[in-house]
Amino acid sequence: MQVGIDKIGLFTPNKYVDMVDLAHARNQDPNKFLIGIGQSEMSVADQTQDAVSMGINATMKYIDRIDKDKVGLLVFGTESGIDQSKSASLFVKTALKLKPEVRTFEVKEACFGLTAALMIARDFVRVHPHQTAIVIGSDIARYGINTPGEVTQGAGSISMLIKTDPSILALNDGHSAYSEDINDFWRPNDSRVAMVDGKYSTQVYLDFFTKTFNDYKKEKNLATKDFDALIYHLPFTKMGLKANRIAVEDQDEKTTEKLQNSFEASKQLSRHVGNIYTASLYMSLLSLLEKGNLPAGSLVGLFSYGSGAMGEFYSGNLVPGYEKEINPVADQAMLDRRQKLTIAEYEDVFNTALKDPVDGKELTSDDAAGTWYFAGTQGHIRQYKQK
Ligand code: HMG
């Protein structure tokens, strides 16, 4: 029985910062951000977009094309949690009018959260082949104004439907996982912005990639040349480029070219949206589907990394007709709808979004009709509305 990704939806908020503007404001050479980091733009979430609202909006991209009664599981991966107790997934369940019998909860391990949710969903669907599962990753990456991590911020969500006989990517059995208790990146309860040992985090990422990729190939008796694409968690696109360079080292020209081209395709959305933590790897997948021109059957290797740290490598094969399940024109229109912020406007939006809203004061959204947003708290209960 094949189980895998049947639907995929991306949402990103309606504001962005241009990296050339940011570089000028921070007295940096723009090429450091454009080439050295590999980012052109980053999406910015204002006070009305949080992990929940972005997760609803990402799922709205396909909810009308699925049988809602079959959804037996809804798992939400995030490190931008809005409550220490109640799961973000319950707000989503209500907004999407899923049945009360759905099993639903939130998971956390930094950027690994959506992969954790996906693997839980894969196993659930194998045991309950007549049911489906929704998995959501939704995050706002915040390091703070004028920090080295600032250029690697972003905001957005990916939602996926997992089922038998999937229409997009059939997941292969097995995986290679590796974990270590380290402090490369973390966010204590009293901080709204992440703390990071930046250079160390990039080295650990590459070490975990090398280990899990090699272990996977050994376990499955595969060679690098057997993969048609390798895609990565992208905190910034240069990070994936470095991992891809390790992967193609010592490979023949044909393999190197193939894996460089597919990496180029997979990084395009990330270059404009920025880091969306849990959802970043799956935005790479969507970008590959939209811009990679890969034939059905192609073997795609996926590297998931979550600081703290957890790495996992696994693979899947593209399903015939997967192109029918994606909408590159609509996704481009979503990026194009974003309003460019001046650096002063961005700093204002950033600082406002860090503050708790005044209880009882309703927030309004300036996004398009149909968008879900956080409308403030009433009696300290979060309110979500559709515009
Ligand atoms: P930095 O100190 O500003 O940058 O921090 P740098 O001085 O190392 O420069 C970056 C690159 O730009 C270098 O290239 C420079 O040579 C180049 P590299 O040596 O790396 O190839 N450069 C230029 N290139 C062209 N023209 C120029 C120029 N000037 C310099 N004029 C750092 C960079 C990534 C450390 C920082 O932004 C940071 O701390 N970011 C946040 C942490 C992060 O993203 N870590 C990634 C791995 S951990 C991870 O992926 C998990 C995560 O997503 C969280 C989670 O799991 O939840 C973060």
Look up the pTM and report it: 0.98
Task: State the alpha helices, DSSP H only, in 36-106.
Answer: 51-60, 88-95
| Measured distance CA(96)–CA(263) in Å, rounded | 34
| Per-residue model confidence (pLDDT) at position 242 | 98
| Per-residue model confidence (pLDDT) at position 181 | 98
Pick the residue whose CA is nearest to atom 30 on ligand 1: 32
Pick the residue whose CA is nearest to atom 6 on ligand 1: 36
| Measured distance CA(75)–CA(56) in Å, rounded | 12
For residue 205, give the ligand 1 atom closest to its CA: 47
Residue 266's alpha-carbon distances to 6, 241, 255, 290, 364, in angstroms, are: 19, 11, 16, 9, 34
| Per-residue model confidence (pLDDT) at position 35 | 98
Distance 352 CA to ligand 1 centre (A): 26
pLDDT tens per residue across span 215-246: 999 999 999 999 999 999 999 999 999 999 99
Distance 166 CA to ligand 1 centre (A): 37
Domains annotated for the chain, with CATH where assigned, are 3-167+326-386 (3.40.47.10), 171-322 (3.40.47.10)
Distance 37 CA to ligand 1 centre (A): 6
Pick the residue whose CA is nearest to atom 27 on ligand 1: 32
- Residue 143, marked binder: yes
Is ipTM over 0.95? yes
* Number of residues assigned to the chain: 387
Name residues of the chain where pLDDT drops below 70. none
Pick the residue whose CA is nearest to atom 8 on ligand 1: 199
For residue 236, give the ligand 1 atom closest to its CA: 44
Cβ contacts of 249 within 8 Å, gap of 6 or more: none
- Residues near ligand 1 with C-beta < 6 Å? 29, 31-32, 35-37, 79, 110-111, 148-149, 151-152, 184-185, 196, 198-199, 201-202, 205, 233, 235-236, 239, 275, 277, 305-307
| Per-residue model confidence (pLDDT) at position 368 | 96
For residue 16, which phi and psi values (nearest 5 degrees)? -150, 165
